[in-house]
Amino acid sequence: MEVTAVGEEANRGDRLGFGQRCCSLRSSNPWLYRTAGIFPEHCTEEKKIGPYFRVAPQASKSQRSRCHGRAASEARPGEATAAAYGRPFPTHPRRQEFRARVVRGPTMLVTAYLAFVGLLASCLGLELSRCRAKPPGRACSNPSFLRFQLDFYQVYFLALAADWLQAPYLYKLYQHYYFLEGQIAILYVCGLASTVLFGLVASSLVDWLGRKNSCVLFSLTYSLCCLTKLSQDYFVLLVGRALGGLSTALLFSAFEAWYIHEHVERHDFPAEWIPATFARAAFWNHVLAVVAGVAAEAVASWIGLGPVAPFVAAIPLLALAGALALRNWGENYDRQRAFSRTCAGGLRCLLSDRRVLLLGTIQALFESVIFIFVFLWTPVLDPHGAPLGIIFSSFMAASLLGSSLYRIATSKRYHLQPMHLLSLAVLIVVFSLFMLTFSTSPGQESPVESFIAFLLIELACGLYFPSMSFLRRKVIPETEQAGVLNWFRVPLHLLACLGLLVLHDSDRKTGTRNMFSICSAVMVMALLAVVGLFTVVRHDAELRVPSPTEEPYAPEL
Protein backbone atom coordinates (compact mmCIF):
# COMPACT_ATOMS: atom_id res chain seq x y z
CA MET A 1 0.00 0.00 0.00
CA GLU A 2 1.15 3.52 -0.77
CA VAL A 3 0.38 6.45 1.48
CA THR A 4 0.70 9.82 -0.14
CA ALA A 5 0.80 13.33 1.25
CA VAL A 6 -1.98 14.18 -1.20
CA GLY A 7 -4.16 11.46 0.31
CA GLU A 8 -3.36 12.71 3.79
CA GLU A 9 -4.35 16.23 2.82
CA ALA A 10 -7.59 15.00 1.25
CA ASN A 11 -8.39 12.99 4.35
CA ARG A 12 -7.80 16.07 6.48
CA GLY A 13 -10.25 18.01 4.31
CA ASP A 14 -12.92 15.36 4.73
CA ARG A 15 -12.51 15.34 8.48
CA LEU A 16 -12.55 19.12 8.85
CA GLY A 17 -15.56 19.35 6.56
CA PHE A 18 -17.46 16.91 8.75
CA GLY A 19 -16.47 18.89 11.85
CA GLN A 20 -17.60 22.16 10.31
CA ARG A 21 -20.96 20.59 9.44
CA CYS A 22 -21.32 19.53 13.08
CA CYS A 23 -20.59 23.08 14.27
CA SER A 24 -22.91 24.64 11.71
CA LEU A 25 -25.73 22.55 13.19
CA ARG A 26 -24.81 24.04 16.59
CA SER A 27 -25.37 20.65 18.19
CA SER A 28 -24.68 20.33 21.89
CA ASN A 29 -24.76 16.54 21.76
CA PRO A 30 -21.31 15.30 22.86
CA TRP A 31 -21.97 11.91 21.23
CA LEU A 32 -22.04 13.54 17.80
CA TYR A 33 -18.68 15.19 18.34
CA ARG A 34 -17.22 12.04 19.85
CA THR A 35 -18.39 10.07 16.82
CA ALA A 36 -16.91 12.68 14.51
CA GLY A 37 -13.65 12.49 16.44
CA ILE A 38 -13.66 16.21 17.26
CA PHE A 39 -14.87 18.67 19.86
CA PRO A 40 -16.91 21.86 19.30
CA GLU A 41 -14.16 24.26 20.21
CA HIS A 42 -11.83 22.69 17.64
CA CYS A 43 -14.01 23.47 14.66
CA THR A 44 -12.64 26.93 14.02
CA GLU A 45 -9.00 26.68 15.06
CA GLU A 46 -6.97 24.79 12.54
CA LYS A 47 -3.89 24.93 14.71
CA LYS A 48 -5.70 23.00 17.47
CA ILE A 49 -7.12 20.48 15.03
CA GLY A 50 -3.79 19.80 13.37
CA PRO A 51 -2.05 17.89 16.18
CA TYR A 52 -5.20 15.95 16.97
CA PHE A 53 -5.66 14.72 13.40
CA ARG A 54 -1.90 14.33 12.89
CA VAL A 55 -1.86 16.82 10.00
CA ALA A 56 0.37 19.88 10.19
CA PRO A 57 -1.60 23.08 9.58
CA GLN A 58 1.35 25.18 8.47
CA ALA A 59 4.43 23.08 7.82
CA SER A 60 7.44 24.88 6.44
CA LYS A 61 8.78 24.17 2.98
CA SER A 62 11.80 22.30 4.34
CA GLN A 63 9.56 20.27 6.64
CA ARG A 64 7.19 19.34 3.83
CA SER A 65 10.09 18.30 1.62
CA ARG A 66 11.01 15.58 4.09
CA CYS A 67 7.91 13.70 3.06
CA HIS A 68 7.77 14.71 -0.61
CA GLY A 69 11.46 14.05 -1.20
CA ARG A 70 11.12 10.42 -0.21
CA ALA A 71 9.53 7.77 -2.39
CA ALA A 72 5.78 7.58 -1.96
CA SER A 73 5.97 4.00 -0.78
CA GLU A 74 8.22 5.03 2.12
CA ALA A 75 6.08 7.92 3.34
CA ARG A 76 4.21 7.43 6.56
CA PRO A 77 0.88 9.00 7.56
CA GLY A 78 1.24 11.89 9.95
CA GLU A 79 4.94 12.52 9.25
CA ALA A 80 4.26 16.07 8.16
CA THR A 81 2.60 16.63 11.52
CA ALA A 82 5.57 15.26 13.42
CA ALA A 83 7.95 17.40 11.38
CA ALA A 84 5.95 20.56 11.98
CA TYR A 85 5.64 20.08 15.72
CA GLY A 86 9.05 18.54 16.33
CA ARG A 87 7.79 15.30 17.90
CA PRO A 88 5.83 12.22 16.89
CA PHE A 89 2.16 12.12 17.81
CA PRO A 90 0.82 8.89 19.29
CA THR A 91 -2.12 7.33 17.55
CA HIS A 92 -5.11 7.41 19.86
CA PRO A 93 -6.85 4.00 19.78
CA ARG A 94 -10.28 5.66 19.56
CA ARG A 95 -9.30 7.66 16.49
CA GLN A 96 -8.07 4.86 14.27
CA GLU A 97 -11.13 5.26 12.05
CA PHE A 98 -9.71 8.40 10.46
CA ARG A 99 -6.71 7.01 8.65
CA ALA A 100 -4.90 8.40 5.65
CA ARG A 101 -6.35 7.53 2.28
CA VAL A 102 -4.53 4.66 0.66
CA VAL A 103 -3.90 3.58 -2.90
CA ARG A 104 -4.92 -0.06 -3.03
CA GLY A 105 -3.57 -2.62 -5.43
CA PRO A 106 -5.62 -5.31 -7.19
CA THR A 107 -4.15 -8.23 -5.21
CA MET A 108 -7.10 -8.85 -2.91
CA LEU A 109 -9.62 -8.19 -5.68
CA VAL A 110 -8.06 -10.80 -7.98
CA THR A 111 -7.53 -13.27 -5.13
CA ALA A 112 -11.16 -12.99 -4.01
CA TYR A 113 -12.60 -13.64 -7.45
CA LEU A 114 -10.21 -16.51 -8.20
CA ALA A 115 -10.99 -18.16 -4.87
CA PHE A 116 -14.72 -17.73 -5.44
CA VAL A 117 -14.65 -19.28 -8.91
CA GLY A 118 -12.39 -22.15 -7.80
CA LEU A 119 -14.48 -23.02 -4.74
CA LEU A 120 -17.72 -22.79 -6.67
CA ALA A 121 -16.41 -25.09 -9.40
CA SER A 122 -15.23 -27.61 -6.78
CA CYS A 123 -18.61 -27.63 -5.05
CA LEU A 124 -20.50 -28.01 -8.29
CA GLY A 125 -18.29 -30.89 -9.42
CA LEU A 126 -18.67 -32.76 -6.14
CA GLU A 127 -22.44 -32.33 -6.00
CA LEU A 128 -22.99 -33.35 -9.63
CA SER A 129 -20.87 -36.47 -9.25
CA ARG A 130 -22.68 -37.41 -6.02
CA CYS A 131 -26.13 -36.86 -7.54
CA ARG A 132 -25.28 -39.07 -10.52
CA ALA A 133 -24.01 -41.81 -8.22
CA LYS A 134 -27.07 -41.92 -5.95
CA PRO A 135 -30.66 -42.43 -7.17
CA PRO A 136 -33.44 -40.26 -5.70
CA GLY A 137 -35.13 -41.53 -2.56
CA ARG A 138 -38.73 -42.62 -2.27
CA ALA A 139 -39.76 -39.29 -0.71
CA CYS A 140 -39.14 -37.52 -4.00
CA SER A 141 -41.60 -39.71 -5.92
CA ASN A 142 -44.68 -38.60 -3.97
CA PRO A 143 -46.45 -35.67 -5.73
CA SER A 144 -48.38 -34.60 -2.62
CA PHE A 145 -45.20 -34.51 -0.58
CA LEU A 146 -43.40 -32.49 -3.26
CA ARG A 147 -46.21 -29.90 -3.31
CA PHE A 148 -46.12 -29.65 0.47
CA GLN A 149 -42.34 -29.28 0.40
CA LEU A 150 -42.58 -26.55 -2.22
CA ASP A 151 -45.06 -24.53 -0.12
CA PHE A 152 -42.61 -24.69 2.78
CA TYR A 153 -39.50 -23.95 0.71
CA GLN A 154 -41.01 -20.88 -0.95
CA VAL A 155 -41.42 -19.08 2.36
CA TYR A 156 -38.39 -20.51 4.14
CA PHE A 157 -35.93 -19.81 1.34
CA LEU A 158 -37.13 -16.21 0.97
CA ALA A 159 -36.58 -15.71 4.70
CA LEU A 160 -33.10 -17.24 4.52
CA ALA A 161 -32.17 -15.19 1.44
CA ALA A 162 -33.17 -11.97 3.20
CA ASP A 163 -31.09 -12.97 6.21
CA TRP A 164 -27.98 -13.79 4.18
CA LEU A 165 -28.28 -10.67 2.02
CA GLN A 166 -27.52 -8.47 5.05
CA ALA A 167 -24.48 -10.37 6.31
CA PRO A 168 -21.62 -9.08 4.09
CA TYR A 169 -22.14 -5.38 4.77
CA LEU A 170 -23.24 -5.17 8.41
CA TYR A 171 -19.85 -4.15 9.82
CA LYS A 172 -19.13 -1.99 6.78
CA LEU A 173 -22.40 -0.10 7.29
CA TYR A 174 -21.51 0.84 10.85
CA GLN A 175 -18.06 1.87 9.67
CA HIS A 176 -19.67 3.93 6.92
CA TYR A 177 -21.58 5.81 9.64
CA TYR A 178 -18.24 6.78 11.26
CA PHE A 179 -18.63 4.54 14.30
CA LEU A 180 -15.40 3.30 15.82
CA GLU A 181 -14.56 -0.35 16.30
CA GLY A 182 -15.40 -0.22 20.01
CA GLN A 183 -18.84 1.21 19.26
CA ILE A 184 -19.43 -1.43 16.58
CA ALA A 185 -18.43 -4.14 19.06
CA ILE A 186 -21.13 -2.93 21.46
CA LEU A 187 -23.69 -3.16 18.64
CA TYR A 188 -22.66 -6.76 17.99
CA VAL A 189 -22.80 -7.55 21.71
CA CYS A 190 -26.33 -6.16 21.83
CA GLY A 191 -27.32 -8.43 18.94
CA LEU A 192 -25.80 -11.51 20.59
CA ALA A 193 -27.41 -10.72 23.93
CA SER A 194 -30.85 -10.29 22.38
CA THR A 195 -30.40 -13.54 20.43
CA VAL A 196 -29.68 -15.55 23.57
CA LEU A 197 -32.47 -13.88 25.58
CA PHE A 198 -35.13 -14.32 22.92
CA GLY A 199 -33.78 -17.76 22.05
CA LEU A 200 -34.54 -18.97 25.58
CA VAL A 201 -38.24 -18.14 25.23
CA ALA A 202 -38.66 -18.51 21.46
CA SER A 203 -40.16 -22.00 21.52
CA SER A 204 -42.70 -21.02 24.21
CA LEU A 205 -43.55 -17.83 22.32
CA VAL A 206 -44.05 -19.73 19.08
CA ASP A 207 -46.30 -22.32 20.74
CA TRP A 208 -48.41 -19.60 22.36
CA LEU A 209 -48.65 -17.28 19.35
CA GLY A 210 -48.96 -19.97 16.67
CA ARG A 211 -46.33 -21.13 14.17
CA LYS A 212 -47.71 -19.31 11.12
CA ASN A 213 -48.27 -16.11 13.09
CA SER A 214 -44.72 -16.36 14.41
CA CYS A 215 -43.35 -16.62 10.86
CA VAL A 216 -45.35 -13.53 9.86
CA LEU A 217 -44.06 -11.76 12.98
CA PHE A 218 -40.52 -12.66 11.87
CA SER A 219 -41.13 -10.90 8.54
CA LEU A 220 -42.38 -7.77 10.31
CA THR A 221 -39.65 -7.55 12.95
CA TYR A 222 -36.84 -8.25 10.48
CA SER A 223 -38.21 -5.63 8.09
CA LEU A 224 -38.18 -3.11 10.95
CA CYS A 225 -34.63 -4.20 11.76
CA CYS A 226 -33.61 -3.44 8.15
CA LEU A 227 -35.34 -0.05 8.25
CA THR A 228 -33.37 0.96 11.35
CA LYS A 229 -30.19 0.64 9.27
CA LEU A 230 -31.23 3.77 7.38
CA SER A 231 -30.68 5.80 10.56
CA GLN A 232 -27.27 6.97 11.77
CA ASP A 233 -28.52 7.35 15.34
CA TYR A 234 -26.69 4.96 17.65
CA PHE A 235 -29.72 4.25 19.85
CA VAL A 236 -31.87 3.40 16.81
CA LEU A 237 -29.19 0.99 15.62
CA LEU A 238 -29.13 -0.64 19.07
CA VAL A 239 -32.90 -1.14 18.83
CA GLY A 240 -32.38 -2.62 15.38
CA ARG A 241 -29.89 -5.13 16.78
CA ALA A 242 -32.41 -6.15 19.45
CA LEU A 243 -35.06 -6.67 16.75
CA GLY A 244 -32.53 -8.68 14.77
CA GLY A 245 -31.99 -10.97 17.77
CA LEU A 246 -35.74 -11.59 18.07
CA SER A 247 -35.99 -12.23 14.32
CA THR A 248 -33.10 -14.72 14.39
CA ALA A 249 -34.70 -16.63 17.26
CA LEU A 250 -37.98 -16.85 15.32
CA LEU A 251 -36.25 -17.84 12.08
CA PHE A 252 -34.62 -20.89 13.65
CA SER A 253 -37.63 -22.04 15.66
CA ALA A 254 -40.97 -21.10 14.08
CA PHE A 255 -40.39 -22.34 10.53
CA GLU A 256 -39.10 -25.79 11.47
CA ALA A 257 -41.80 -26.22 14.14
CA TRP A 258 -44.52 -25.36 11.62
CA TYR A 259 -43.17 -27.83 9.07
CA ILE A 260 -42.79 -30.75 11.48
CA HIS A 261 -46.33 -30.35 12.83
CA GLU A 262 -47.84 -30.12 9.34
CA HIS A 263 -45.76 -33.03 8.06
CA VAL A 264 -46.80 -35.42 10.82
CA GLU A 265 -50.17 -34.23 12.12
CA ARG A 266 -51.98 -32.77 9.11
CA HIS A 267 -50.52 -34.61 6.08
CA ASP A 268 -49.55 -37.83 7.86
CA PHE A 269 -46.36 -38.31 5.87
CA PRO A 270 -43.76 -40.76 7.23
CA ALA A 271 -41.56 -39.19 9.91
CA GLU A 272 -38.52 -40.69 8.13
CA TRP A 273 -38.99 -38.11 5.36
CA ILE A 274 -38.44 -35.13 7.68
CA PRO A 275 -34.61 -35.36 7.65
CA ALA A 276 -34.68 -35.41 3.84
CA THR A 277 -36.49 -32.07 3.78
CA PHE A 278 -34.14 -30.36 6.21
CA ALA A 279 -30.99 -31.80 4.64
CA ARG A 280 -32.09 -30.49 1.26
CA ALA A 281 -32.93 -27.16 2.89
CA ALA A 282 -29.44 -27.07 4.45
CA PHE A 283 -27.83 -27.58 1.04
CA TRP A 284 -29.89 -24.87 -0.64
CA ASN A 285 -29.29 -22.64 2.35
CA HIS A 286 -25.59 -22.72 1.44
CA VAL A 287 -26.42 -22.00 -2.19
CA LEU A 288 -28.60 -19.05 -1.18
CA ALA A 289 -25.78 -17.70 0.97
CA VAL A 290 -23.37 -17.83 -1.96
CA VAL A 291 -25.85 -16.07 -4.26
CA ALA A 292 -26.71 -13.51 -1.56
CA GLY A 293 -23.07 -12.45 -1.25
CA VAL A 294 -22.85 -11.76 -4.99
CA ALA A 295 -26.21 -9.95 -4.92
CA ALA A 296 -25.12 -7.82 -1.95
CA GLU A 297 -21.94 -6.82 -3.79
CA ALA A 298 -23.99 -5.90 -6.85
CA VAL A 299 -26.62 -3.78 -5.09
CA ALA A 300 -24.04 -2.05 -2.88
CA SER A 301 -22.01 -1.10 -5.96
CA TRP A 302 -24.76 -0.28 -8.47
CA ILE A 303 -27.81 1.10 -6.67
CA GLY A 304 -25.95 4.08 -5.25
CA LEU A 305 -27.06 3.69 -1.65
CA GLY A 306 -23.74 2.27 -0.53
CA PRO A 307 -23.52 -0.31 2.29
CA VAL A 308 -27.18 0.18 3.29
CA ALA A 309 -28.41 -1.09 -0.11
CA PRO A 310 -28.46 -4.83 0.81
CA PHE A 311 -30.63 -4.07 3.85
CA VAL A 312 -33.10 -2.14 1.71
CA ALA A 313 -33.12 -4.96 -0.86
CA ALA A 314 -33.94 -7.52 1.87
CA ILE A 315 -37.23 -5.83 2.80
CA PRO A 316 -39.21 -6.93 -0.33
CA LEU A 317 -38.05 -10.53 0.21
CA LEU A 318 -39.27 -10.44 3.81
CA ALA A 319 -42.59 -8.91 2.77
CA LEU A 320 -43.09 -11.60 0.12
CA ALA A 321 -42.24 -14.36 2.61
CA GLY A 322 -44.85 -13.05 5.07
CA ALA A 323 -47.48 -12.71 2.35
CA LEU A 324 -46.93 -16.27 1.08
CA ALA A 325 -47.13 -17.65 4.61
CA LEU A 326 -50.43 -15.85 5.18
CA ARG A 327 -51.88 -17.12 1.91
CA ASN A 328 -50.60 -20.70 1.69
CA TRP A 329 -49.98 -21.91 5.24
CA GLY A 330 -52.42 -23.14 7.83
CA GLU A 331 -52.04 -22.27 11.49
CA ASN A 332 -50.97 -24.82 14.07
CA TYR A 333 -50.25 -24.74 17.78
CA ASP A 334 -48.67 -27.10 20.25
CA ARG A 335 -49.05 -27.86 23.91
CA GLN A 336 -46.85 -25.47 25.84
CA ARG A 337 -44.35 -26.85 28.27
CA ALA A 338 -43.36 -24.66 31.21
CA PHE A 339 -40.10 -22.86 30.57
CA SER A 340 -38.79 -23.75 34.03
CA ARG A 341 -39.52 -27.45 33.45
CA THR A 342 -37.78 -27.33 30.07
CA CYS A 343 -34.64 -25.76 31.53
CA ALA A 344 -34.66 -28.02 34.60
CA GLY A 345 -34.94 -31.15 32.44
CA GLY A 346 -32.18 -29.93 30.17
CA LEU A 347 -29.88 -29.21 33.12
CA ARG A 348 -30.46 -32.68 34.59
CA CYS A 349 -29.62 -34.29 31.24
CA LEU A 350 -26.53 -32.09 30.90
CA LEU A 351 -25.13 -33.00 34.33
CA SER A 352 -26.06 -36.69 34.30
CA ASP A 353 -24.40 -37.62 30.97
CA ARG A 354 -20.73 -36.85 30.46
CA ARG A 355 -21.14 -37.10 26.70
CA VAL A 356 -23.71 -34.30 26.71
CA LEU A 357 -21.50 -32.13 28.92
CA LEU A 358 -18.50 -32.57 26.62
CA LEU A 359 -20.62 -31.87 23.53
CA GLY A 360 -21.88 -28.66 25.13
CA THR A 361 -18.33 -27.62 25.99
CA ILE A 362 -17.16 -28.18 22.42
CA GLN A 363 -20.12 -26.27 20.99
CA ALA A 364 -19.67 -23.31 23.34
CA LEU A 365 -15.93 -22.99 22.66
CA PHE A 366 -16.07 -23.59 18.91
CA GLU A 367 -19.07 -21.45 18.04
CA SER A 368 -18.02 -18.53 20.28
CA VAL A 369 -14.81 -18.34 18.24
CA ILE A 370 -16.89 -18.39 15.05
CA PHE A 371 -18.96 -15.43 16.32
CA ILE A 372 -15.75 -13.45 16.93
CA PHE A 373 -14.50 -14.41 13.46
CA VAL A 374 -17.76 -13.06 11.99
CA PHE A 375 -17.01 -9.72 13.65
CA LEU A 376 -13.31 -9.53 12.68
CA TRP A 377 -13.15 -10.60 9.05
CA THR A 378 -14.39 -7.29 7.65
CA PRO A 379 -11.92 -4.98 9.50
CA VAL A 380 -9.08 -7.36 8.62
CA LEU A 381 -9.77 -7.55 4.86
CA ASP A 382 -11.68 -4.37 3.98
CA PRO A 383 -8.71 -1.94 4.35
CA HIS A 384 -6.95 -3.87 1.58
CA GLY A 385 -9.65 -3.31 -1.02
CA ALA A 386 -11.44 -6.65 -0.68
CA PRO A 387 -14.89 -6.89 -2.36
CA LEU A 388 -16.93 -7.79 0.70
CA GLY A 389 -19.81 -9.48 -1.12
CA ILE A 390 -17.49 -11.75 -3.12
CA ILE A 391 -15.42 -12.48 -0.01
CA PHE A 392 -18.60 -13.52 1.81
CA SER A 393 -19.70 -15.71 -1.12
CA SER A 394 -16.27 -17.35 -1.07
CA PHE A 395 -16.71 -18.09 2.62
CA MET A 396 -20.09 -19.68 1.99
CA ALA A 397 -18.71 -21.69 -0.94
CA ALA A 398 -15.93 -22.97 1.33
CA SER A 399 -18.55 -23.98 3.91
CA LEU A 400 -20.58 -25.72 1.20
CA LEU A 401 -17.42 -27.53 0.09
CA GLY A 402 -16.92 -28.71 3.68
CA SER A 403 -20.50 -30.03 3.80
CA SER A 404 -19.96 -31.88 0.52
CA LEU A 405 -16.75 -33.39 1.86
CA TYR A 406 -18.64 -34.49 4.99
CA ARG A 407 -21.18 -36.40 2.88
CA ILE A 408 -18.41 -38.00 0.83
CA ALA A 409 -16.39 -38.92 3.92
CA THR A 410 -19.37 -40.58 5.60
CA SER A 411 -20.43 -42.41 2.42
CA LYS A 412 -20.12 -46.14 1.83
CA ARG A 413 -16.81 -45.70 0.06
CA TYR A 414 -14.92 -44.03 2.93
CA HIS A 415 -17.27 -44.56 5.90
CA LEU A 416 -15.57 -42.11 8.26
CA GLN A 417 -17.46 -41.31 11.43
CA PRO A 418 -18.74 -37.85 12.49
CA MET A 419 -16.50 -37.99 15.56
CA HIS A 420 -13.44 -38.15 13.30
CA LEU A 421 -14.66 -35.25 11.18
CA LEU A 422 -15.45 -33.16 14.27
CA SER A 423 -11.86 -33.65 15.43
CA LEU A 424 -10.58 -32.66 12.00
CA ALA A 425 -12.73 -29.51 11.96
CA VAL A 426 -11.38 -28.35 15.32
CA LEU A 427 -7.80 -29.04 14.21
CA ILE A 428 -8.28 -26.99 11.04
CA VAL A 429 -9.61 -24.02 13.04
CA VAL A 430 -6.67 -24.22 15.48
CA PHE A 431 -4.23 -24.12 12.55
CA SER A 432 -6.11 -21.25 10.88
CA LEU A 433 -6.09 -19.13 14.03
CA PHE A 434 -2.37 -19.63 14.44
CA MET A 435 -1.99 -18.42 10.86
CA LEU A 436 -4.05 -15.33 11.69
CA THR A 437 -1.90 -14.41 14.69
CA PHE A 438 1.00 -13.96 12.26
CA SER A 439 -0.83 -12.56 9.24
CA THR A 440 -2.42 -9.76 11.31
CA SER A 441 0.79 -8.57 13.00
CA PRO A 442 0.77 -4.73 13.12
CA GLY A 443 2.87 -3.35 10.28
CA GLN A 444 3.29 -6.79 8.68
CA GLU A 445 -0.26 -7.56 7.63
CA SER A 446 -0.75 -10.20 4.95
CA PRO A 447 -4.36 -9.99 3.73
CA VAL A 448 -4.03 -12.93 1.33
CA GLU A 449 -2.83 -15.23 4.11
CA SER A 450 -5.63 -13.97 6.36
CA PHE A 451 -8.15 -14.65 3.59
CA ILE A 452 -6.85 -18.21 3.18
CA ALA A 453 -7.09 -18.75 6.94
CA PHE A 454 -10.69 -17.48 6.93
CA LEU A 455 -11.54 -19.86 4.09
CA LEU A 456 -10.11 -22.76 6.10
CA ILE A 457 -12.28 -21.75 9.07
CA GLU A 458 -15.38 -21.81 6.85
CA LEU A 459 -14.34 -25.17 5.40
CA ALA A 460 -14.07 -26.46 8.96
CA CYS A 461 -17.56 -25.11 9.69
CA GLY A 462 -18.88 -27.17 6.79
CA LEU A 463 -17.45 -30.27 8.49
CA TYR A 464 -18.35 -29.24 12.04
CA PHE A 465 -22.06 -28.44 11.84
CA PRO A 466 -23.31 -31.73 10.29
CA SER A 467 -21.00 -33.69 12.62
CA MET A 468 -22.28 -31.84 15.70
CA SER A 469 -25.89 -32.15 14.54
CA PHE A 470 -25.52 -35.93 14.14
CA LEU A 471 -23.89 -36.36 17.56
CA ARG A 472 -26.51 -34.20 19.30
CA ARG A 473 -29.35 -36.26 17.81
CA LYS A 474 -27.75 -39.46 19.03
CA VAL A 475 -26.63 -38.31 22.48
CA ILE A 476 -29.42 -35.97 23.67
CA PRO A 477 -32.91 -37.45 24.22
CA GLU A 478 -35.47 -35.85 21.91
CA THR A 479 -37.68 -34.71 24.79
CA GLU A 480 -34.80 -32.81 26.42
CA GLN A 481 -33.18 -31.30 23.33
CA ALA A 482 -34.80 -27.87 23.68
CA GLY A 483 -33.71 -27.49 27.30
CA VAL A 484 -30.19 -28.80 26.69
CA LEU A 485 -29.67 -26.52 23.69
CA ASN A 486 -30.77 -23.55 25.79
CA TRP A 487 -28.01 -24.35 28.27
CA PHE A 488 -25.52 -24.81 25.41
CA ARG A 489 -26.28 -21.32 24.10
CA VAL A 490 -25.68 -19.47 27.36
CA PRO A 491 -21.89 -20.03 27.68
CA LEU A 492 -21.55 -19.79 23.91
CA HIS A 493 -22.92 -16.26 23.72
CA LEU A 494 -21.28 -15.20 26.98
CA LEU A 495 -17.86 -16.14 25.61
CA ALA A 496 -18.55 -14.34 22.33
CA CYS A 497 -19.74 -11.20 24.14
CA LEU A 498 -16.72 -11.28 26.44
CA GLY A 499 -14.40 -11.46 23.44
CA LEU A 500 -16.08 -8.50 21.76
CA LEU A 501 -15.91 -6.47 24.98
CA VAL A 502 -12.19 -7.20 25.20
CA LEU A 503 -11.86 -5.85 21.65
CA HIS A 504 -13.87 -2.77 22.67
CA ASP A 505 -11.19 -1.80 25.22
CA SER A 506 -8.11 -2.55 23.13
CA ASP A 507 -6.11 -0.88 20.42
CA ARG A 508 -7.44 -1.83 17.01
CA LYS A 509 -4.42 -3.44 15.36
CA THR A 510 -2.78 -5.11 18.35
CA GLY A 511 -6.22 -5.95 19.71
CA THR A 512 -7.10 -7.91 16.57
CA ARG A 513 -3.94 -9.98 16.73
CA ASN A 514 -4.32 -10.54 20.47
CA MET A 515 -7.90 -11.64 19.98
CA PHE A 516 -6.85 -14.24 17.42
CA SER A 517 -4.24 -15.46 19.92
CA ILE A 518 -6.94 -15.79 22.59
CA CYS A 519 -9.19 -17.61 20.12
CA SER A 520 -6.31 -20.02 19.39
CA ALA A 521 -6.08 -20.85 23.10
CA VAL A 522 -9.86 -21.32 23.27
CA MET A 523 -9.77 -23.72 20.33
CA VAL A 524 -6.96 -25.72 21.94
CA MET A 525 -9.32 -26.16 24.90
CA ALA A 526 -12.04 -27.28 22.46
CA LEU A 527 -9.56 -29.79 21.01
CA LEU A 528 -8.93 -31.20 24.48
CA ALA A 529 -12.70 -31.55 24.97
CA VAL A 530 -12.92 -33.39 21.63
CA VAL A 531 -10.19 -35.78 22.78
CA GLY A 532 -12.10 -36.36 26.02
CA LEU A 533 -15.32 -37.06 24.12
CA PHE A 534 -13.51 -39.41 21.74
CA THR A 535 -12.19 -41.49 24.64
CA VAL A 536 -15.71 -41.77 26.08
CA VAL A 537 -17.54 -42.76 22.87
CA ARG A 538 -14.96 -44.64 20.84
CA HIS A 539 -16.70 -47.97 21.50
CA ASP A 540 -20.25 -46.58 21.31
CA ALA A 541 -21.97 -48.17 18.29
CA GLU A 542 -24.91 -45.76 18.65
CA LEU A 543 -22.73 -42.84 17.49
CA ARG A 544 -21.77 -44.47 14.21
CA VAL A 545 -23.26 -43.43 10.89
CA PRO A 546 -25.89 -45.93 9.68
CA SER A 547 -25.47 -47.77 6.42
CA PRO A 548 -25.68 -45.32 3.49
CA THR A 549 -28.43 -47.41 1.91
CA GLU A 550 -30.66 -46.67 4.90
CA GLU A 551 -29.94 -42.98 5.22
CA PRO A 552 -32.71 -40.93 3.56
CA TYR A 553 -31.25 -37.46 3.63
CA ALA A 554 -28.99 -36.47 0.83
CA PRO A 555 -29.53 -33.09 -0.82
CA GLU A 556 -30.17 -33.12 -4.52
CA LEU A 557 -29.57 -30.49 -7.13
| pLDDT tens sequence for the chain (557 residues) | 333 433 434 443 443 344 433 433 333 333 333 333 433 333 433 333 333 333 333 344 344 344 444 443 334 334 433 343 343 434 444 334 333 333 345 788 889 999 999 999 998 888 887 777 665 544 457 788 888 889 999 999 999 999 999 999 999 999 999 998 888 889 998 988 888 888 777 777 888 888 899 999 999 999 999 999 999 999 999 999 999 999 998 998 889 889 988 888 888 888 888 888 888 898 899 999 999 999 999 999 888 788 999 999 999 999 999 999 999 888 888 766 566 666 677 777 777 778 888 888 898 899 999 999 998 899 899 888 889 999 999 999 999 999 999 988 888 777 888 889 999 999 999 999 999 999 988 888 899 999 999 999 999 999 999 999 888 888 887 766 666 777 777 777 788 888 787 766 666 667 788 889 999 999 999 999 999 888 887 766 666 766 544 444 333 32
Cα separation, 212 vs 217, in Å, equals 9
209 close to 231: Cβ distance less than 8 angstroms: no
Main-chain phi, psi angles of 2, to 5 degrees: -115, 130
Question: With 0-12 CB in 10 A as exposed, 13-18 as middle and 19+ as buried, what is 101?
Answer: middle
Main-chain phi, psi angles of 95, to 5 degrees: -115, 20
pTM above the 0.85 mark? Answer: no
Question: With 0-12 CB in 10 A as exposed, 13-18 as middle and 19+ as buried, what is 490?
Answer: middle
Find how far residue 409's CA is from the centre of its chain: 26
Residues across the chain: 557
**Domains defined for the chain, CATH in brackets:** 144-337 (1.20.1250.20), 338-538 (1.20.1250.20)
Cα separation, 530 vs 463, in Å, equals 14
Cα separation, 70 vs 23, in Å, equals 37
Cα separation, 463 vs 77, in Å, equals 43
Cross-strand pairs, 103: 2
Cα separation, 228 vs 230, in Å, equals 5
∠ CA 281-283-288, nearest 5°, is 85
Across 454-477, b (16+ Cβ under 10 Å) vs e yields bbbbbbbbbbbbbbbebbbebbbe
Coil, strand or helix: which one is 242? helix
